[in-house]
Structure 1
């Protein structure tokens, strides 16, 4: 049985190899360790190996971990799961990033509820790139309107796009989706300050995502083992 440290280092090697195979600069892809359902002890094991960015899908579980590990001020916490409007306040008060902004109402509430003493909240717009009814995210043609709204908010910093492409499509279909996402990302990356993050790719599609420009991959099971 491999330890978390061993699996984390293996995941880092996989990211580095995929980055090199895509002829991209070293360290141009960040690894977000997705720690949902995992105990604080597992996060600490990854932390001790130098991991500093962690992603949580469930708000209350994530906030509990943030509070338990509040002494570790260099951890960067990402909310990557869906957010209901009645939970925006606790998210705005605790997380460093929200990758799952998919509508104006959520963006407005996160902005209005971000404490004045905290740095602006980094946000990504979640795009439903394959128009799947089962997934959250804004349609590609509606991204522009949400970009315009978020960039006017003084307590939000728009950092990029996030997507969860269709699971296990054929490679051609997958490449088409990822290419469309990269084209959408590039449209804003060239014109907006701080718009530098394309969060796409998990264990199953990481290599293809990196080949199509991902700057952040979200890895959970390969690091922490099967979900509890």
Structure 2
């Protein structure tokens, strides 16, 4: 467990240094440990090191892990993968936050399938900041109607936006993509939407994301190492 704790601490220090360098408060940025394809033992080990928020990409894997680990642990489960319509019931049953919604139909299904005894499901809408047809996410023109749909659904709570820009080794290009997401969030806030979340930044670009306002950064391999087993 010590090496996992050391890796987790190193990522937290990296976030802290990036925040200070950009004139931000480190406690404004939250670390989401991406635990996809890692066993529950690895999640429990990270939990023992103080990590509480975990991100999963596959609905069945999320459900299995969320039901295997006790509620008393206080884990916050984030679903960060593409949301398939036939998997929304599993996600709605156990997730606390869903990061990558891009269709009204998915919003409606998540709302309808959210159990009555659970708090509203927190939602981030995914914006395509790279403008590539192959990339997931809505276009800027589609964002406001999708936000309006989400706000009208009682078992959902719109929190903010998410993006996965095209990879680039150039920090200025990274910042430009993340700035688009920040500007889109600011535009929605100008329309009266009470949003506070920017889910952006991974291992290779978290510094650029933090400088542009990220509130959640999604880090996997730097914490857990290589994936433990292939996804079936």
Shorter-normalised TM range: over 0.9
Unaligned runs of 5+ in 1: none
**Structure 2 partner of 1:206:** 206
Q: CA RMSD in A?
A: 1.5
> Contact 2:174/2:209 (CA < 8 Å) preserved in 1?
no
- How far 1:2 sits from its partner (Å)? 6.9
Counterpart for residue 100 of structure 1:
100
Distance 1:145 1:184 in 2: 13
Give the 5 Å matches for 1:58-207: 58-168=58-168, 170-189=170-189, 191-193=192-194, 195-207=195-207
Q: Distance in 2 between matches of 1:49 and 1:189?
A: 36
Regions of 4+ moved over 6 Å: none
The TM-score normalised by the length of structure 2 is 0.93
**Which structure 2 segments of 5+ residues have no match?**
none
What SS does the aligned partner of 1:55 have?
A: strand
Shift of 1:140: 1.7
Structure with greater helix share of residues: 2
| Structure 2 Cα separation of the partners of residues 110 and 29 of structure 1 | 27
Give runs of aligned pairs for residues 7-22 of structure 1, distance below 5 A.
7-22=7-22
Which deviates further from its counterpart, 151-160 or 72-81? 72-81
- Residue in structure 1 matched with residue 39 of structure 2 by the alignment: 39
Give the superposition deviation at 1:218: 0.3
